[in-house]
Amino acid sequence: GAGVSQSPSNKVTEKGKDVELRCDPISGHTALYWYRQSLGQGLEFLIYFQGNSAPDKSGLPSDRFSAERTGGSVSTLTIQRTQQEDSAVYLCASSLWGQGSPLHFGNGTRLTVT
Amino acid sequence: AQKVTQAQTEISVVEKEDVTLDCVYETRDTTYYLFWYKQPPSGELVFLIRRNSFDEQNEISGRYSWNFQKSTSSFNFTITASQVVDSAVYFCALSEWTGRLYFGRGTQLTVWP
């Protein structure tokens, strides 16, 4: 079956522009997570969705970051007025609801802010 | 708060050597899950194993084995007879009740031919 799909795979943008990153989870997975991976920072949690609700947004670095999920499926992570420090690989993962369900990750979107 | 420590940043071995990756965790939860993920050069995080806090049996899968010890809060990962294809970054992770994973910083394993 299809895995987690993320688009675009690469995105280069100018400082100050807005970007949207898309995640299409595995069908039937109700939980969806966004992480960020940058050199020297490891895997940084951003936000978690259960269905269309986001009970945990504690990892969003600033109010320039937002995310939504519609229809319990596709999620979009939006970064407004991008800064150079936003450059990273943004990873999306999905899982069946419940502690202990393995997260299945997409290949990520590599964002470069110039 | 949940915390995972992988003290080894980088490990290099020669093919066919055994190698152990260390993972130590902290949690106040009585029920929790531990995971190992592999991230090869291609970049995708691949799930390897899950273990719950009530099951301390060691597990072996081919050349891979895992040693979970609650007494020392450790969940170590051993690769026997390493191969070049094992070269990757390996992450240990701990989950909270939402399923959110707390990752360690990862261990870069390089296996030389």
* d(CA B14, nearest CA chain A) in Å: 26
**Burial (Cβ within 10 Å: 0-12, 13-18, ≥19) of residue B61:** exposed
For B58-108, what is each residue's pLDDT tens digit? 888 899 999 999 999 999 999 999 999 999 999 999 998 888 899 999 999
Q: What is the pLDDT of residue A1?
A: 55
Query: Which of B45, B52, B99 lies nearest to residue A91, judging by beta carbons?
Result: B45
**Token output for A18:** 């807005």
Q: Is B97 on the interface with A (CB under 8 A)?
A: yes
Q: Is residue A41's pLDDT more than 80?
A: no
| CB contact at 8 A, A10 and A108 | no
Residues in A closer than 8 angstroms to B91, CB to CB, are 43
Q: What is the mean pLDDT of residues B5-30?
A: 96
Chain A residue with minimal CA distance to B99?
A: A99
- For the stretch A58-77, pLDDT in tens is 999 999 999 999 998 999 99
Please name the amino acid found at residue A56.
Answer: D
A111 CB neighbours in chain B (<8 A) are none
